[in-house]
Structure formats: structure tokens, C-alpha cells
Structure 1
Amino acid sequence: MVDVVFMFELHQPYRLRKDLLKHMLLNGIKRGLTFSEMFDLIFDNEVNKEVFVRVAERCYVKATKILLESVKSVRKSGKDFKFSMSLSGVLIEQALKWDKRVVDVINEAVLENVAELVEQTYYHSLASLFSIDEFIEQLELHKSLIKEVFGVEPRVAENTEFIYNNDIACTLNRLGYDVVLTEGVERVLGWRSPNYVYSARGCNARILMRNYRLSDDIGFRFSDRSWDQYPLTADKYASWLSKTPGDVILIAIDYETFGEHHHPSTGILEFLKWLPIEIARHDNINVVSPYEAACRNKPRDVIDVSFWETISWADERDLSAWLGNDFQKKLFEYYASLEPYVKAIGGEALKIWRTLGSSDHLYYMATKTGPAGDVHNYFSPYKDVVVAYTTYLEALAMFATMILEKISSEPSKYAKKIVLPGKKAFQFYQAPGKPLPYRARCITELAALVQIVPEESLVYHILRGDLARWFRENFFLENVARELEDLGAFVKQGVVEISKLREFVLKILSKI
């Protein structure tokens, strides 16, 4: 017997407004916007609504109704058919605003014990690649939304676009997810098959790996008339599954495959209708949820994927779909650098930043050729990569300017809320080339460390101006920076005794 798992990915980004600056000029929009007004300005919600309503009608509602009817038919024969869905938080937001039928029909599938909902990042983001804190926060946001809307808590998780490494798996496992889904990448598997349950390196998570060949037969090749297996029928596909060796076969595809990526005229919805029925004819196949499959089958081996070998289900099964060229890398770094500041402000500013972080925006900038390039071009709303880059840069730069102006205009209001990433933490040294085990990511941590670091370390940094520079560049606290610089000058002149230095530094910090 083989367990077959179907996982459908549902996501729609908030697309950006093209020609943003031109739009502002033509409409007389000036600076001084609120963050709520900025959200409506940089995201083109006329287009977003149009796309969502179209896909909801063609796919989300229709395909789910077809599946529910087919499953009812299968259950009458004594067999069963289950599937899983991974819905991004932004997709659920759009469904609640623009077509609630999507939520209703999926909720029906959940209540009928047909669909299992899978955890993912709320904003379908690349947070796991730059901030473990943000990654966890988005998972928790998503979990809360799923609980609120559908009344369930996911037990299975996937990262955006099946992005995976050991650290991601173990983070998910620490959060309570015992099953993680990812891609069956050959360079990771080696001689092994994706059609088994594996264990994650370093934790107890069970890993299901996507069979990308069988998945792509539906997702990409279904309507390809040049394919040597065209046309693909439900009975043919069911026979392939029955003859595939292994314990678990994970078929994971974009749900938009059914009616949007493949037009209904291709027969894709008829294929979906008959698939559960044809699979039920094979006694050696159980179609189950991911959680059931992971629990029913023992792990056969350990999957080891280091951070530097991070995998995904896109393109070459790596990160190049989003970080494959300098355009993407620079804007990703620019975007990530704003995290401490938007989190200090919070509210609508944080929502805009997270929405700008959806992986799609970088995906549109890929400079791929061949089949991978064709896929990027199909999904992109832009005519070329330069337009994609310019559109994102304009939106991000406008937002970043507003953020930094707000922080720098009232630095004392936000400074203590800013928590820097590790690479910008203040590192204490005893002397050049002699780091101490003391690092501060925020002002509160720094104040605590000032009380315990060796006196010579404090002298070293005050005289060099390191502390002053850290406060000026990261917190925009010019007055604090100047006081620390003056203090350094007084120490050099002998006006302030070294034994009193710690006391003076703490006094300056207490005024923040």
C-alpha cells in the first residue's frame, strides 16, 4: 500500500501600482500621507481585486466544489480521498474582502474532514532567510488567522515555496509542528527516493518530500500538446500512482493549476473531477492528509540540508528564483534592513513592510532563460525585469523614506523599541582584535552591559567614538552621540577620571 498526499498551494500577492511616481504627480498626491493612505497608494487594489475575483470564480470556488462532490461519491463506495491546502494570510484577507465564497467552500471541506490546512508564513515571505524572529511572528499570525477563520490549528507546516534547511525544520518543530513539507531535491536525496518519510537533522520533525515529476505532470505539462504523454487523463495518472514504489507520494502544486494556469477548455477540471474516482479503483492506494501519512509511516533516513544548501521547489530547486541576481540581492538586503525600524513604529507601517516582503516581488525580477524564464514571465505582471525592479524600488524607497523620516524626527520616542539584527549589534572589545562575549542589539541590552564590561573596554570604545557612532547611525540619537563624543574628549583631557567613566555613560543613557 502507498499513501498519496495532495497538497494545494493558494496564494495571491498584493501587486504594486505601476508608475507610482507618475500616478502621484497626475493626481496631485503630496508627501505627508498616513501609512494607511500609503498602503492604498503603493498597492494597486483595483488590479488585485480584479485578479482575485477572476481566479476565485475559475479556480478556488469551482475546483473545491468539484473535489467535494467527487469525494462524496468516493465515500459512498467505502473509499476516501483527502487533500491539504496551504493558504497564505494575504490570500485569506483578499477572500474576506472580495469573495467570501472562497472561505466558505474551503471551510466546508475542512468541516467535512476532507481538507487539512497547512501552516505557512502569513505574507508568503522570505523571512526565514533574514530574521528568525520575523519568521516566527509570521507563522504565529498565520496560525491565529487560520484558527479565527476556520476553527482549526495546523499540525503540518511548509515554508514559503517549500524553502527548507535544517534550521527552518527545527524552528518549525520547536513551534509544535511535527511534520514539514519540502521539495524532493535529488542533490539532497542522492540515491534515495522522495517517496518515503524522512527525519530532519537536529530535531524530531518528520519530513515529506515532494515528488516533483508527478507534481509537474499536472502543474506544468497537463496542457502541453508536445508532451509524449499528452493527453493526461485521470485513469492514466491513477495508474502511474499505483505503480510508483515507496511509502508516501507527495503531490504538491499551485491550486491555480485548476482553471487559471490551465484553462477549463484544456479539460483540467474534468481531470480533477475524475481523479478521486479513478484513484479509488486502485486497492493499493490510500489518499490521506499529510499528517496521517507522516504518522502512519516510519522515517527511513535523515535529511541534512545546511543553510548554504537551502532548497525550494522553484527553478533549480534553490534560492535563485528570488536571489539569483544583483537586483534581487540588493533590494532584499535593503528591505530586510528596515525591520527594526518598522517594528518600532508598528501598526500600518509594519503591515506595509510585511506586504512588500511577499516573495512574489523578487520573483518578478528573476533573469532566467529557458523553461524557468518562461514560468517567471507567465507569473509576472510586468513586461520585463527592469520594470519589475523599478516598480518595487520606487515603492520600497518611498516607504523607507517615510519610515526613516518618522524615526529621525522623534528618535527618543522610538529608540528604545528598536532591536537591531545581529550583524549590527554592538560588539564590545578589550582591545583591537580581542572581542569580549558581550553584544547588544538594543539600548536596554547596552545599558545592562555597560554596568559589567571591563573598564578598559569602555575606555577603548569611548575614546574611539564607537558608541557615539552606533547611536548616531542606528538610532538617530544625535544628542546622545554628541554627549558620548564630548565625554571621550573630556577623558582625553583628563577632565573626567577613568574610574568615573562608567557612571557618566550610564547617566547619558538614562536620559534616553
Structure 2
Amino acid sequence: MRTICFYFQVHQPFRIKPYRFFDIGEDHYYWDDYSNRSIIRKVAQKCYLPMNELLLELIRRYNGKFKVTFSISGVCLDQFELYAPDVLESFQRLVATGHVELLSETDAHALCSLANKEEFVRMVESHKEKIKRLFNGYEPKVFRNTELIYSDKIGAMVAEMGFEAMLTEGAKHILGWKSPNFVYQNSVDPNLRILLKNFQLSDDIAFRFSNKTWSDYPLTTEKFVNWINAIPQEQEVLNLFMDYETFGEHQWAETGIFEFMRSLPEAVFRYTNFSFSTTTEAARNAKPIAKIQVPTPISWADEERDLTAWLGNDLQNEAFTKLYELEAQVQKIDDPDIIRDWKYLQTSDHFYYMCTKFFSDGAVHSYFSHYDTPYDAFINYMNVLSDFILRVKNKLKALEAVDK
């Protein structure tokens, strides 16, 4: 039987407060606690709490035949513990049903897989420990890298860490004529199975649902089921990957997005030969049809599906390079504040805010940024990074003095 795999990314960064040049060396706390708490509570009320309740209702209604998968970033879990314990409890109730899967990712939703293997492994292990602590010993079997970033090399590192499967984008320039609706294999280690996002049908829900200029507006369950039924019978796995904030935050409740999801499982069960699976079930039950060759990293972002949303200009590359030059030094320091800031400064959102793309993708970038311009984002981040570098140097000098 063919299957639908719903995967939702749950992530909120720790946003940096306005930090001036004159704060360098004077103020060592970088995080905008008021904004971070306000945003988490707002999204909790609009998305996390009502959508979690809806999913719990659907899992119970269909006796576990409806299943979903989540990847919750470590920095988001940290904020749930700080600002929204009710949200954390609602996710714990979902996972306790046995029909909700949790994925592994980098703890800080970081780009470290592109910079440093050792830091990448540390970040993954840190996230695994956090999931285990918060979800009654749960151990993820499938990996989702930050921003769905994937390459043959990254996949090989993930396989080396013991994961069974990994998620990424079904990018056109990689697939060519092939379909994303199959399970593939990593080209270096064929034991790692690769699940590819069907971005057309995913984005119909995530981005186009409330777009009144879209030729297929409004999107109904009947229409969506017809599109599903048009998928050739031999194509076994339909991967619908999207931000969880799609529901109630990006697509407001008034658009009908909750009613769409409430009625979708019934329509799928009644009018199609699809079931619902977690990512582990999909990877295990479908036979891989081929190795997928991805020599250069891909991601979910923009028309290019590459890294340019985060590392596409000189601002981003300077910030990224200066940050990861500190890795070896930071690892010598045993200071919880330094480790916390090192981790949170790696979050990919900080680099996304510096993106200078315009035209078709510019609106998306500006929507997710709280800065007036990418240059403001760069200056604010580099001011913070300058102070962090000073702190690291001073800590190392103090350690050297003790050793002497």
C-alpha cells in the first residue's frame, strides 16, 4: 500500500537583542528575552496548542492509523521549557500515543555540517540527549539536517552516526526526470535511506493555501485527494514536509487551514489507496529504487534549492567564517554561558536574516526577519560576535594563567 508521510519542522531561534558597537566589552548578554517569550507565546496560542490538540484528536479518531513526524529544534525545546511548558506537555502527550515520531537534528538548528564534523557530531548528540530527557527516553532513528541541507558527504556522516534514514529536498536539478515519491539511498553508504520532499504538494499547503491569486485557490480536501490519486501507482511514498507554523501562524485559522487538516485523513482513507506512516516506517517498508547523487549541498530554500539563503553573500560568509574559527578555542572552555552563547550563535536564522536576495524570494526572506535590512542583521550579529570573541580570549588567558 502507498503511504503519506507528514513531517513538521518545529523551530524558533533565540533572537538577538539590539546590540550596539559601544556594548562590546560591556554587555555580555545577547538575547532578547522579551521578544523570544512573546513570540513563543503568540505562536503557541495560534499554532502549537490548537494544532497539537487537533492531531491528538485525529490519532484517537482513527485508532493510530493517522501518524505524523516532528523535528523539534533544541533551541525551540529550550524556549518551551523557559516560556511554554504547556506546549512541551502537549508534544509529550502526542509522542506518548506511539503514533508520533521524533527526528534527530542539530541542537541549535545550526549549519555546522558545512563547517566542522566534530561540532556537527556534538550538536547531534546534544539534541539526542535533550530528546531522551524530555520524551521519556525516546531515541530518534531518522535524521533531519538543518534546513533540509544534504549532500553525499553529509549523508555519509549521518550514516556513520547510526541513523537509518535522512530527509532532504526533492530538488529538480538533482532528480531530473526522477520522482521524489520513492525511497532512495545515500551514494556513499547505501544503508542510509533518503526520503525526499514532494515540494509541489507540500508547498500547496504551506505557501499557497490562502493565496487568492493562485489558480487552484481555494484548496479543498477533494481537490488535494484528486492530485494524490493522479500520482502513478508505482510511486510508493508521498512526503509532505513543512514548517509546523504553517498551521495558524503562516496560514491563519481564518483561512480554513485547521478544517482542511481535520478533514484530510478521512478523505485519504475513503477515496485513495494511501495510508499514513512515520518517516521510519516509510523508510523501512518501501524498497529503495536507486542511489541519489548529491555532490553539492542542497536545501529547501528558494528557487535554487541551494545554500545561498544562508551563505550567498560576503556578509554571511564573513560571519560564518569568523564564528567557526572559534570552534577549537571554545572546546577548551568549561563555562556554561560561553557554551550556551556559542550554541545559540550558530542558529541558521541569524545568517538567513543577512540574505540580500530580492525579486521572487525577497518577500519570503523579509517576512521571517525582524531586522529592517540584511545589513542591520549583519552589523548586530558582528557586534555580538566581537564581544563573544573577546570573552573567549579572556577565558583562555585566564586558563593559561592558572596552568602556569
TM-score relative to the length of structure 2? 0.95
Equivalents in 1 of 2:359, 2:222: separation in Å? 31
Match of 1:318 in 2: 306
Equivalents in 1 of 2:2, 2:15: separation in Å? 41
Give the match's secondary structure for 1:224: coil
Match of 2:390 in 1: 401
Match of 1:234 in 2: 221
Equivalents in 1 of 2:400, 2:245: separation in Å? 46
After superposition, the C-alpha distances for 1:305-324 in whole angstroms (9 at most, x for unaligned) are 12xx1111111211101000
Equivalents in 2 of 1:274, 1:232: separation in Å? 12
Alignment map for 1:116-127 (pairs within 5 Å): 116-127=101-112
After superposition, the C-alpha distances for 1:360-410 in whole angstroms (9 at most, x for unaligned) are 000000011123111110000111111111111111111112212332354
Equivalents in 2 of 1:143, 1:87: separation in Å? 11
Give the match's secondary structure for 1:280: helix
* Corresponding position: 1:59 with 2:44: no
Match of 2:77 in 1: 92
CA contact (8 A) 2:19 2:30 kept: no
Equivalents in 2 of 1:166, 1:411: separation in Å? 41
Alignment map for 1:298-447 (pairs within 5 Å): 298-306=287-295, 309-315=296-302, 316-347=304-335, 348-411=337-400
Higher relative contact order (CA 8 A, sep 6+): 2
Bigger Rg, structure 1 or 2? 1
Give the match's secondary structure for 2:271: coil
Count of residue pairs brought into register by the alignment: 398
1:346–1:242 Cα change, 3 Å: farther
Amino acid in the other structure paired with 2:76: L
After superposition, the C-alpha distances for 1:182-231 in whole angstroms (9 at most, x for unaligned) are 11011111221110000101111000000011111011111110000101
Match of 2:91 in 1: 106
Q: 1:198 aligns with which of 180, 184, 187?
A: 184
Equivalents in 2 of 1:230, 1:71: separation in Å? 28
CA contact (8 A) 1:197 1:209 kept: yes
* Corresponding position: 1:272 with 2:257: no
Amino acid in the other structure paired with 2:298: I
Structure 2, gaps ≥5 residues long: none
CA contact (8 A) 1:70 1:274 kept: no
Match of 1:285 in 2: 274
* Corresponding position: 1:170 with 2:159: no
Moved over 6 A (4+): none
After superposition, the C-alpha distances for 1:21-59 in whole angstroms (9 at most, x for unaligned) are 56x5xxxx973x6xxxx3xx2110110000001101111
User: Structure 1 residue 283: deviation in Å?
Assistant: 4.2
1:236–1:113 Cα change, 3 Å: farther
Match of 1:9 in 2: 9
CA contact (8 A) 2:25 2:390 kept: no
After superposition, the C-alpha distances for 1:136-187 in whole angstroms (9 at most, x for unaligned) are 0110011011111012100111110110011211111111111111110111
Equivalents in 2 of 1:106, 1:95: separation in Å? 10
After superposition, the C-alpha distances for 1:226-266 in whole angstroms (9 at most, x for unaligned) are 00010112232233223223111111000000001111111
Alignment map for 1:130-145 (pairs within 5 Å): 130-145=115-130
Percent of aligned pairs sharing the same letter: 38
User: Structure 1 residue 70: deviation in Å?
Assistant: 2.2
* Corresponding position: 1:214 with 2:176: no
User: Structure 1 residue 7: deviation in Å?
Assistant: 0.3
RMSD over aligned CA atoms reads 1.6
User: Structure 1 residue 411: deviation in Å?
Assistant: 3.1
Give the match's secondary structure for 1:17: coil
After superposition, the C-alpha distances for 1:85-119 in whole angstroms (9 at most, x for unaligned) are 00000111111111112111111111112210011
Equivalents in 2 of 1:87, 1:404: separation in Å? 33
